[in-house]
Amino acid sequence: MRYMHPFCVRKCLVLGQYINSLYCYSFEEIGIIMTLMSIKNLTVENRLQSVDFDLQQGEVLGLIGPNGAGKSTLLSALAGLVSHSGEVELNDNNLNSISANKRARSIALQPQFVESAWALSVHDVVSLGRLPWGDCDQTIISAAMQQANVMELASRHVDELSGGEKARVWLARVMANQPEVLLADEPVANLDIHYQQDVMSLLKNYAQSGHAVIIAIHDLSLAAKYCDRLCLLDQGKMIKTGKVGDVLTEDILSSVFSTDVFINLQSEPPIVLAR
């Protein structure tokens, strides 16, 4: 057996204890940032110009801006629904190099307008989220329904539900796919304040469970409360990306929205309103 000096033994033991202790914490707690998606110079002809940003694991990134700014176009491009130029990488892999099926498993889009052509049960609707995987894994389906708080609606027909209940069902369907990146296009539009909070909390929790969420949203107060970072678009161009406080300033918003705004990010909840 090779001899090791006692001092070296002590250093190895200390190093081993330190490495072992890292397993007790999340990446965020020990200051490690995991980039899930990287977007460089993404352009959609006549609709979106040179968008660049990174998406981190565990975060909710909010897309904000006036109507027609390019928010829905950007989400559709990331989901592979519209052709684009530029580079999009997921876990350091160019999306153009992976199969459509693998892409569908990794990135899922909740469109702005969703309706069921048939009076399916809530359970059947959520089960559709497993299509990219080619299975009906009941454990995963039940977990998604539980996470979205729609388990008690399982046997109800989706066309019998309220708007807020439907919103949670559609999100449960997307979450049943277990995508690394969940894209949501205005999921709280036309919902009352109770269901707005419900849906935003659901998306926040999904991101914090080891995924990431990109959400297009018009309510800037909700964006300030639930998003970790924001990307401000206007007329197809990226105006500003960064932390909430860096993007939601009176000068920037007044210029983009052509109106005076009142901002109080220190209040609970944050307030961002037109004057």
Q: Can you tell me the distance from the alpha carbon of 127 to that of 56, in angstroms, rounded to the nearest whole number? A: 28
Higher pLDDT, 106 or 8: 106
CA pair distance 256, 273, nearest whole angstrom? 14
Output the pTM of the full model.
Answer: 0.85
Q: For residue 18, what pLDDT is reported?
A: 44
Q: Rounded to the nearest 5°, which phi and psi values hold at 148?
A: -90, 0
Predicted pLDDT at 209: 92
Domain edges within the chain: 37-114+179-274
Q: Give the architecture (CATH level 2) of 37-114+179-274.
A: 3-Layer(aba) Sandwich (3.40)
Which pLDDT belongs to residue 40?
A: 96
Share of the chain above pLDDT 70, in %: 88
Q: DSSP letter at 121?
A: B
Cα torsion 6, 12, 17, 18: sign = positive
Q: How much is the pLDDT for 216?
A: 97
- What would the pLDDT profile of 10-45 be if each residue is shown by its tens digit? 544 444 454 344 444 444 454 556 899 999 999 999
Structure tokens at 14: 């200390």
> What is the structure's pLDDT at 5?
53
Segment 162-190, tens digit of pLDDT: 988 998 999 999 999 999 999 999 999 88
The confidence band for 106, taking pLDDT boundaries of 50, 70 and 90, is very high
Instruction: Categorize the per-residue pLDDT at 112 as very low, low, confident or very high, splitting at 50, 70 and 90.
Output: confident
What are the backbone dihedrals phi and psi of residue 270, each rounded to the nearest 5 degrees, phi first? Answer: -60, 155
- Check residue 33 and give its pLDDT: 66
Q: Could you give the C-alpha distances from 211 to 35, 77, 122, 214, 268, in angstroms and in order? A: 11, 19, 24, 10, 26
**What value does the mean pLDDT take over residues 87-112?**
91
Q: Mean of the per-residue pLDDT values for the chain?
A: 88
Side chain identity, residue 216 = A
pLDDT digits (tens, 9 = 90+) for 65-78: 999 999 999 999 99
Distance CA 17, CA 12 (A): 9
> What number is the average pLDDT over the span 96-108?
91
At residue 30, the pLDDT reads: 47
| Digit-coded pLDDT (tens) for 221-235 | 999 999 999 999 999
